[in-house]
Amino acid sequence: MSMIKTEFWKLKRYHIIWAGVLLMLLSVLLTLFSTTALDGTVWTFSFFAEQVMKNNITTIFPMCITLIAGYIINREETDDTLKSILTIPVSFRVLLCGKLIACALLSLLFGVTSVAFTVAASWLAGFPGASLPSVVQITAQITLNCLFLYIAVMPVIAIAARIQNGHLIGTVVAFVYGYGGMFAAGNMALANLYPVTASMGLIGYRSYDVSVHWNLLHCIFSMLAALLITSIIVLTAKNSAPKKTVKKGKKIIAKKGW
Amino acid sequence: MREVVIKTSNLTKQYGQQKSVADLNIHVQKGRIYGLLGRNGAGKTTTMKMLLGLTQPTSGKVSVWGKPLSGNEKELLPRIGSLIESPGFYPNLTGTENLRIFAELRGLTNRNAIKNALDLVGLPYRDKKLFSQYSLGMKQRLAIALAVMHDPELLILDEPINGLDPIGIAEVRAFIRALCDERDKTILISSHILSEIALLADDIGIIDQGVLLEEESLAELEARSRKYIRFVVSDAEQAARILENSFREKQITVQGRRELWVNHMETPVAKMVSAFVAHGLEVSEAATVEESLEEYFKRVTGGEGIA
Ligand SMILES: Nc1ncnc2c1ncn2[C@@H]1O[C@H](COP(=O)(O)OP(=O)(O)OP(=O)(O)O)[C@@H](O)[C@H]1O
Ligand SMILES: [Mg+2]
């Protein structure tokens, strides 16, 4: 418990959190721009929120949370605080678990942020149909979707945590992985099993559409598989940080979507 | 002999081909300050990391309070406070916020622990300043505060006075001394500064290129460093012969044409001088010389010296 609590204390004045908030804003702004490009579409609040979700899923969120979780995990190394934690003693494994759980909560918070931006943008753009029930439904959908997406990318985060400076590579992998959701969505059977798209199934994304039929069992299985893989990676983690490589001057990977 | 708190047996750490620590056997006794003295790269930090389980030894064993460290970390580590290399803290938090995180993780219930630790090192409690804005000395003080916050029985401090100003050094020295004398803590401290160790430590281990050259109490080391009489005379060779014939002095070293060192101290200096004069030699200097600790260390580390 104190592991998770202290993780949140460490976030105070932590700038990388604002990068996450900006990315969530960006997702909404991207959607807002697309409303001007598409003709013939009737934009309602619910439809707009759906498009935000789609952008969250395929473009922004997997990369965003991997980046932030990566920084949160990597910082013990860069701030040189790991030695003080390991000598308490708190094992690297327990530390990693605490961080992953804290990031799950953080995902929910980013979800709420996304909801706030979505509602504000929709109101500013004057889209109709923002009734209380629809806002409540969207809030639940976007927020939970962020959590499920987080679970979907957790294996990537956990693997990246075991590689020195792996969080930047992890971010790129997560982006590709999220973008892959676009293709997985084309095939319903695949969409149910691909963790990124399974996160949509779990919140009943477009379930009113006749061509969309989610198999909840498959979606849950997909999430559990992601969790299982993550726990295996965490449990087999050695009780120390990834080996320091002397190589310096790492490449700055172009941050997509900034 | 007192209880031995830290004991290593043939502790070795190898990085690639190079042995950073080789067959180290140190003994840190309860209630004493042990100074680990060595030049840069001698293996002090590597040794301390192995004592804390931060790196695994290539071979050899560490035991603390009579128990092997490996396998008993959960029981032993909470009783140890440590500072290894440079201070590491979260830059986005204040000093107090930083300590609060570690206090929480350690499950400290004493509400005053943080304040007491900060008082001890002379940092303000609940200051607004972030760690990233701290000066080097302040960072070092915070690291010391972290090491002592949970009132450990054993302190392992790697170059704790790094970056401190002279007054800060004196303060830290005084409170380390007090922790040992008044509260019976055991302290292992490393430094590359001989004078610092000489001022503070009860026992000294000299480490050079990973090898422990000597382990001795400070008192013993000081007694061991030599005393001799140095003469400057008009003819050193002749003076040496005089001493041998008249006084049976054997430990004589002739240094150059005019200088002479006499180790044995039984013959009074005045008698030797009058013997020189009686044989027509000029004596321009005669003095008792005590080899400093520094010269002693220079000798045991093979010339280049420490500090
Ligand atoms: N992670 C590592 N990989 C390879 N070599 C290392 C590593 N850590 C230390 N060494 C080597 O081990 C030797 C001892 O280093 P160590 O840090 O223990 O010295 P030290 O006595 O603490 O020196 P200083 O006074 O500079 O702090 C050095 O030659 C160093 O290059
Ligand atoms: Mg060192």
Q: How many whole angstroms separate alpha carbon B28 and alpha carbon B7?
A: 7
Count how many domains chain A has: 1
Kindly list the structural domains of chain B, giving each domain's residue range(s) and its CATH number in brackets, ordered by start. Answer: 4-223 (3.40.50.300), 227-290 (3.30.70)
Judged by a CB distance cut-off of 8 A, whether residue A208 touches chain B is no
Average pLDDT of the residues in A198-209: 86
Chain-chain contact of A87 with B82 (C-beta, under 8 angstroms): yes
The confidence band for A245, taking pLDDT boundaries of 50, 70 and 90, is: very low
- Greater pLDDT, A44 or A240: A44
- Chain A residues in contact with B97 by the CB 8 A cut-off are 9, 12
- Output the pLDDT for position A239: 61
Is A184 a domain residue? no
Phi, psi of B12 (to 5 degrees): -140, 135
Q: Please name the member of B74, B84, B91 whose beta carbon is closest to the beta carbon of A79.
A: B91
Is A197 a domain residue? no
The confidence band for A255, taking pLDDT boundaries of 50, 70 and 90, is: very low
- Output the pLDDT for position B264: 64
Q: Whose CA is nearest to atom 4 of ligand 1?
A: B15
Q: Please name the member of B54, B80, B90 whose beta carbon is closest to the beta carbon of A79.
A: B90
Residue B164 token pair:
């401190």
Task: Give B 142-161 residues with CB within 8 A of chain A.
Answer: 146
Judged by a CB distance cut-off of 8 A, whether residue B100 touches chain A is yes
Under 8 Å between Cβ of B121 and B169: no
Is A213 a domain residue? no
- Output the pLDDT for position B50: 96
Is A188 a domain residue? no
- Chain B residues in contact with A246 by the CB 8 A cut-off are none
Q: Please name the member of A3, A81, A83 whose beta carbon is closest to the beta carbon of B54.
A: A83
Q: Whose CA is nearest to atom 31 of ligand 1?
A: B41
Is A141 a domain residue? yes
- Output the pLDDT for position B91: 97
Interface test with B, best of A13, A80, A87 (most B CBs within 10 A): A87
Is A26 a domain residue? yes
Beta strand segments in chain B, E = 4-15, 18-24, 27-29, 33-37, 59-64, 67-68, 80-83, 154-158, 186-191, 203-208, 211-217, 227-233, 252-255, 259-262, 283-290
- Output the pLDDT for position A244: 46
Domain that holds residue A141: 2-179
What tens-digit pLDDT sequence spans chain B (307 residues)?
Answer: 689 999 999 999 999 989 999 999 999 999 999 999 998 899 999 999 999 999 999 999 999 999 999 999 999 999 999 999 999 999 999 999 999 999 999 999 888 999 999 998 999 998 999 999 999 999 999 999 999 999 999 999 999 998 889 998 998 899 899 999 988 999 999 999 888 898 999 999 999 999 998 898 988 877 776 677 889 999 988 988 888 888 877 778 888 888 888 876 677 888 888 889 999 989 988 888 777 777 777 777 766 544 4
Is A117 a domain residue? yes
Q: Out of B11, B15, B157, B197, give the residue to mutate to test ligand 1, the one with the largest number of ligand atoms within 8 Å of its CB.
A: B15
Is A218 a domain residue? no
The confidence band for A250, taking pLDDT boundaries of 50, 70 and 90, is: very low
CA distances from B264 to B131, B200, B251, B253 (A): 58, 31, 6, 11
- Residues with Cβ within 8 Å of residue A130, at least 6 apart in sequence: A45, A119, A122, A123
Chain-chain contact of B77 with A88 (C-beta, under 8 angstroms): yes
Interface test with A, best of B80, B90, B96, B134 (most A CBs within 10 A): B90
Interval A83-132: pLDDT, tens? 999 999 999 999 999 999 999 999 999 999 999 999 999 999 989 988 99
- Greater pLDDT, B188 or A188: B188
